[in-house]
Amino acid sequence: MTLPKTNTHNLDAAADGQSPINSAQASPRLSRRQALAVLMAATAVPVVSVLSPTPARSQPNVNSFKLTPGVIVDLNRGRAYVMRPQAGIAAVDLANGSELWRSNEAARPIAVAGNVLVSQGDTPGARNNLRIVALDVREGGRLIFTRSIQLPAGVKALVDRTRASAFTLDAQLERGELVVSWEYTERPLRGRPPPIREVLPGEEESDLQSGPPDGAAFGPGQGPASGSEQHVVNGAFRLDLQSGAISEQQLPPARSSGSNNLLAPNARLRGLPEDQFLSADGRHVLIAERVANDAAFEKYRWAIYDRNTAQKLGEFRAHVRYAPFFVADSRVVFESGPYSRRTPAGLVQEPLQIRAVDLRTGDMLWRQPVRDTTGRRPPPPL
């Protein structure tokens, strides 16, 4: 099916949207007794608007959400659907990290709604065809249906990112259907610029300028790319979870999740350090404190708080200040890596993975590797 309605623009031409603010209507004047009753009722209700959870970006409901691209959490069933490093998707038990089932029918989970896991399939051939795969999470990832959606020419619906392009998907549940929005970003690949020569004693600058100054000597396809050269194409469609029918959908308004889910000042837990990070499902808050110098690997102490009650649930040591996370029972699950470091025993290399830590003891409970879709090859030479 072809969905022609898309939005194409350069990054520097994107406009900021504003949400309308509705003014409250004036209420009729109350008697003194009625006013007193309203006041007493209001004071009996705790004010939790600042601390109430806000839905995470692109989640069908509060119990199912995206931790990171390639990891969808299903708290109702106590599991996560994870991109396997080799191929396919695995259902992982959040209690012990064991693999419950796996499917090679799809590559990247997008969202789970009810009993249906909607995913993206690999499309090595016709790259502007987006392959949508629906799996039954009750029956070991049994294939329910597949759909092929033709995207605009030039769009590469690839699962893996490259240094020149990226294709991303988000989804949200709306009236029993899944609204899937996609975005394709392409940037011309540039090689490394030539090194800048120093002017040594006895030399003159004019002797070194064999070409135009200020970087204008870069030929076609060389040198750093400017932000205006980044090209973005996006669109959306609606998916019926029962029949698999695809219909057109206007692009939903963009949602800003903030940098690293850093809470705004008016949303922070009071009486605690200022830098506070929100969990992927909006229910918990992370406060990271640096407690060691660079000689220590795990130089940060993570403290996890319940966002509604401000109760501290536990703490443990980590090597980064922030990573996407959520809490399930007494465990915190977060993204880690990839990284490499030298130890007395030699070089240690860790892949991209999700880890679970016991908030009561700080001990790591399990780890599960995740397919790394980020292109890490160096740019081509000049």
Q: What is the pLDDT of residue 274?
A: 87
Residue range 215-240: mean pLDDT, rounded: 62
Mention every residue, 6+ apart, whose C-beta is less than 8 A from residue 1: 147, 148, 149, 150, 246
Question: Which pLDDT score, from 0 to 100, does residue 188 have?
Answer: 76
What does 139-168 look like in DSSP terms, one character per residue?
Answer: GTSEEEEEEEEEPPTT----SS--SSEEEE
**How is residue 87 written in tokens?**
């191929």
Residue 239: strand, helix, or coil: strand
Q: Which residue has the tokens 């909006």?
A: 282
Q: Comparing 154-158, 160-164, 317-321, which segment has the lowest mean pLDDT?
A: 160-164
pLDDT band at residue 41 under the 50/70/90 scheme:
very low
Q: Which helix (H) or strand (E) holds 102?
A: strand 99-103
pLDDT (0 to 100) of residue 377: 58
Task: Identify the pLDDT of residue 202.
Answer: 44
Give me the helices (H) in 147-302, please: 205-208
Q: Give pLDDT, residue 1.
A: 55
Quick one: pLDDT band at residue 4, thresholds 50, 70, 90?
Answer: very low
- Cα distances (Å, whole numbers) of residue 32 to 39, 231, 246: 11, 62, 57
* pLDDT above 90 (res 65): yes
Percent of the residues in the chain that have a pLDDT greater than 70, as a whole number: 69
Residues 6+ apart with CB under 8 A from 171: 58, 60, 110, 111, 118, 178, 179, 180, 181
Range of weakest confidence among 33-47, 158-172, 207-221, 295-309: 207-221
Q: pLDDT band for position 3 (50/70/90)? A: low
Residue 354's DSSP bridge partners are 335, 368
Least confident of 61-65, 100-104, 113-117, 315-319: 61-65
| Residue-level pLDDT at 300 | 95
Is it the case that residue 224 has pLDDT exceeding 60?
no
Residue with tokens 């790259």: 127
Task: Convert the pLDDT of each residue in 162-213 to its tens digit.
Answer: 888 899 999 999 888 999 999 999 987 665 555 554 444 444 444 333 333 3
When pLDDT is averaged across residues 310-324 and rounded to a whole number, the result is 95
pLDDT band at 252 (very low <50, low <70, confident <90, very high): confident
Comparing C-alpha atoms, which of 261, 371, 284, 264 is closest to residue 330?
Answer: 284
Q: Which amino acid is at 152?
A: P
Q: In Å, how far are 24, 49, 269 from 46, measured between CA atoms?
A: 22, 9, 15
Q: Distance between CA atoms of 249 and 234, rounded to whole angstroms?
A: 12
The pLDDT confidence band at residue 84, using thresholds 50, 70 and 90, is very high
Cα-atom radius of gyration of the chain, to the nearest Å? 25
pLDDT-based confidence at residue 218 (cuts at 50, 70, 90)? very low
Identify the bridge partners of residue 285 per DSSP, sorted by sequence position. Answer: 278, 305
Q: State the pLDDT at residue 168.
A: 93
Cβ neighbour number for residue 296 with a 10 Å cutoff: 12
Q: What is the pLDDT of residue 125?
A: 66
Is 121's pLDDT higher than 80? yes
Q: Which residues pair with 357 in a beta bridge?
A: 332, 364
Assess whether pLDDT exceeds 70 at residue 355: yes
Q: Which domains does the chain have, with CATH numbers?
A: 64-189+226-248 (2.40.10.480), 259-369 (no CATH)
Amino acid in the structure at residue 306 = D
The reported pTM is 0.74
Q: Which regions of 227-270 does DSSP assign to beta strands (E)?
A: 231-240, 246-248
Q: Which amino acid is at 224?
A: P
Average of per-residue pLDDT values in the chain: 77
Predicted local confidence at residue 7, as pLDDT: 54
Count of all residues that appear for the chain in the document: 382
Pair 56, 47: CB distance under 8 Å: no
Confidence of residue 217 (pLDDT cuts 50, 70, 90): very low
- In the structure, what pLDDT confidence band is assigned to residue 216 with cuts at 50, 70 and 90? very low
pLDDT for residue 196 = 52
The span from the CA of 256 to the CA of 272, in Å, is 24
DSSP state of 41: H
Does the pLDDT of residue 118 top 50, yes or no?
yes
